[in-house]
A and B are shown apart, each in its own frame.
Chain A
Amino acid sequence: MRSSTKKKVDPLSYHLTPKHELLTAEQAFEVLKSLGVTPDQLPWMRASDPVAKAIGARPGDLVKVTRKNPLGGEVVIYRYIISG
């Protein structure tokens, strides 16, 4: 079947994947405080997302994503992990 022959790919090493970091509870709390948001007001990411799986993010976690901006410089965004 397909699943047995499927090649394992590490999404983190792919050149288009931006940097994802799992935040500790303290870091997450700090971020929420500085942005003045509740977790569900952040953009979401599913726990089943390949990157979320790769960095071991579980529902309720916050992930810091650092990506390159076409206008130059780096942009930091945060994602709230939801189940599914």
Chain B
Amino acid sequence: MEDKVIKGVGFGILSPDEIRKISVTAIITSEVYDEDGTPIEGGVMDPRLGVIEPGQKCPTCGNQLGQCPGHFGHIELVRPVVHIGFVKHVNDFLSATCRKCGRIKLPEEEIDRYLKIYRAIQSRWQSASKRLVDYVKKTASKATTCPHCGTEQLKIKLEKPITFYEEGKEGLTKLTPSDIRERLERIQDKDVELMGLNPKTSRPELMVLTVLPVPPVTMRPSIMIESGIRAEDDLTHKLVDIIRINERLKESIDAGAPQLIIEDLWDLLQYHISTYFDNEIPGLPPAKHRSGRPLRTLAQRLKGKEGRFRGNLSGKRVDFSARTVISPDPSISIDEVGVPTDVAKILTVPEKVTDWNIEEMRQLVMNGPEKWPGANYIIRPDGRRVDLRYVKDRKALAEGLTPNYIVERHIMNNDVVLFNRQPSLHRISIMAHRARVLPGRTFRLNLLVCPPYNADFDGDEMNLHTPQSEEAVAEAKELMTVHKNILTPRYGGPIMGGTQDYISGAYLMTVKTTLLTKEELSKLLGPVKYSGDVPEPAILSPRPYWTGKQVVSMFLPDNFNFRGPANVSSGTRICKDEDCPHDSFILIKKGKLLTGVFDKKGLGNQQPESVLHWLIKEYPEDYGLWIMDNLFKLFIRFAEIRGLTMTYNDVKIPAEAVSKIAEQSKETRKEIENLIAKFERGELEPIPGRTLEESLENYILDALDKLRNSAGETGSSYLDPFNNAYIMARTGARGSLLNLTQMSAMLGQQSIRGERIKRGYKGRVIPHFKQGDISPEARGFIYSSFSRGLNPIEMFFHAAAGREGLVDTAVRTSQSGYMQRRLINALSDVRLEYDGTVRNISGDLIQTFYGYDGVHPMKSVHGKAIDINRAIERVVGWKR
């Protein structure tokens, strides 16, 4: 047989003759099975429609289950029915053409002229031709008399979803599908063409069905549920309904039943066929199963998230993948991923046997599927696969290995794998890692790669995929490796970087007071890959001490300069430049950290124009990888050695402070009582543009806000800014000053939708207050602190406000997920062409020059092609 090449795919509407031609049998009875359960010939499960049970042989094609593609049948409809998917087209045709002669209601010359234009532009400017068709439809529908035969025209009214009426002087007359089909038949081919359809494949009268195809049983198999009862597919149920009504309609017509009854049955047939195509038509009650569940008919099989397109075609399931819980491992490299041995024994890579690896491969085959590292399959040069699970003598097989065999060996250390966490919102949600096979049952990842995946370890799971070809591996390595993606393509800043303990550790290490003995220094550098020199100790007597800044400087390149404030530079400890006693201004000259501390601003993730950013951007990728692996490990080590924890004492304030805050509370309470009294006397000064009630509410909120702030200030002034909790807040490692004051001083106002809590019972939130009580405590103000403890009422308000946050995030994620989906679908085929323009797949011009500046954001500095200030700083920075 000669090879055929597919040139294109055409769409059209099946004609009744075509339907009969592809049909193997007419379906004539609503009976499905006889008494002993065998399918009845001429029923919807007719054996000629295909095989659905193993061992059966198809009477039509002779194939068995799996080979038989299934065969169509057909139902002859007693009366025609409008196809629900074409109602809009039918309406257009009826409205635009003459009710008598079937011509488009435009003068002959105009039809000819438009048709000429249409044919000229149809293939080249589809969009323009569509607009021309719309214009023709619109103007033709307006005509009140036919320019061809002079017949007066009536308005066509479509009553959703499927009933057509003609609006005459005497009122509405219903058009039956038969009437409609007759009219559509009268329309000439050239008029059909001008209406935008191809008359050769899609004559309009085919939009009114007279024969209904019955799909093969292979696409609607019946399933056996327990106790041997057969459950039919929804489509089968629907087809049975259609045949039943069709039968009854035929009987009624044959018996000469009254017109009214026939029309009712006809409408019912229309309903069943419409819901057979789509069971979610607005204005039509969905057809239901006996249990009340709506039926899943043809459109429902295709539509939506679980439909054929999104669920089965764009959402394919893949082999060579694994999924499990993730857990942290600060001792592996950022571009590694810990893979459990159990997983490594299932995921495989095909490796060709060569003269150079044959001994290794023999060993792997000998180890077999159960022992890691081993192999699960071998593929012989003739293409036969051998499953090593069932090979008794693996040793012999291994001996027989020759070049050109392929061994599907287990994943081993340093194999490239793709690692992914959903939702995959940006490209760095999937990165290439080197596998590192470890004991345990979880995937292990370095904490520094958590930010791009947005991963934490409260039960998150991640997926792992193994590339199966050298090309795939090369591509993954070159484009997706972790250390090539430290800078995000979103804005060019470092998306990976220090978090939490890394930040505290870096701060504690670089703080002025940190002095290290030789032993301590050795202990720190032990687990780190550092081979350079150790500088002279900063302090020589009474014994040598190295400062933390010296240790960090060992990791910085010699030509690195930087000036900028640290995160701790705020409030009373702010530093404008390096001449500052608080040591919070970072100054790096020639790779030496002279002043300032490393904290979130210096080494944190997502901190653009920071020390980390310039280190990653201005030095080779290997250096970035090395510093992320080693310098950061040092910080963790230091935090471990020094110890970093939080105690009650970190947030405890003395009795003196507590009574001060109580005093402030009392004053504010009095102030608010006065406001309320003033309001009740009508003496309250309204805020411009507000009602009196709103003004009072505003005054109260202001007073309470002031109270919380002053309580917070009082409280925090008694806290030691160098205790661990405070250090974590100041360095940006975890927590904020607000969290500290809420723990030590006062929680403050709980709010829902930015207002004091007011919903609940009539005039009050909970029954512990009088109706109309608008005092602070009745509307969600919490005087207590977390360390003092909340009373039950305060606890209730706190929970109510906390609930709002949860609801908000739930709503936001679903909304932004949908937005993301629409954006991605709209942008997925947009690409940068070699001429610098941005176009989509059909060649539409989106941008004449990429981004109108030609700058790749990943290679940019905050969207700019170059940062002049940094360029100058790099060269002359240390001179000032």
Contact = CB atoms under 8 A, between A and B. Distances in A.
Interface string B812-842: 0000000000000000000000010101001
Contacts of B124: 38
Given A38-B125, A41-B842, A41-B845, A69 B852 contact: yes
Given A35-B837, A69-B852, A71-B853, A43 B845 contact: yes
Interface in A39-69: 39-43, 69
Given A35-B845, A37-B845, A41-B842, A83 B131 contact: yes
Contacts of A72: 853
B863 interface: yes
B127 A69 contact: no
B76 to A, nearest CB: 46
Interface string A3-30: 0000000000000000000000000000
B843 interface: yes
B142 interface: no
B128 A40 contact: yes
B852 A71 contact: yes
B848 A71 contact: no
A68 B843 CA distance: 25
Contacts of A82: 128, 131
Which secondary structure dominates chain A's binding surface? Answer: loop
Q: How large is the interface on A (under 10, 10 to 19, 20 to 34, 35 or more residues)?
A: 20 to 34
B117 to A, nearest CB: 12
B864 interface: yes
Nearest to A70: B852
Contacts of B478: none
Contacts of B853: 69, 71-73
Given A38-B125, A41-B844, A75 B837 contact: no
Contacts of A83: 131, 135
A17 B126 CA distance: 31
Nearest to B124: A38
Nearest to B126: A40
Contact of B848 (A38, A39, A41, A75): A75
A84 B852 CA distance: 29
Contacts of B848: 35, 75-78
Nearest to B849: A75
B383 to A, nearest CB: 46
Contacts of A77: 848
Interface string B614-651: 00000000000000000000000000000000000000
A41 B852 contact: no
20 contacts: A35-B837, A35-B845, A35-B848, A38-B843, A39-B125, A40-B126, A41-B843, A42-B844, A43-B845, A69-B852, A71-B852, A71-B863, A73-B853, A75-B848, A75-B852, A76-B848, A78-B845, A78-B848, A82-B128, A83-B131
Given A37-B844, A41-B845, 15 more contacts: A35-B837, A35-B845, A35-B848, A37-B843, A37-B845, A39-B125, A40-B126, A41-B842, A41-B843, A71-B863, A71-B864, A73-B852, A75-B852, A78-B845, A84-B131
Interface of B: 124-128, 131, 135, 835, 837, 839, 842-845, 848-849, 851-853, 855, 863-864
Interface of A: 35-43, 69, 71-73, 75-78, 82-84
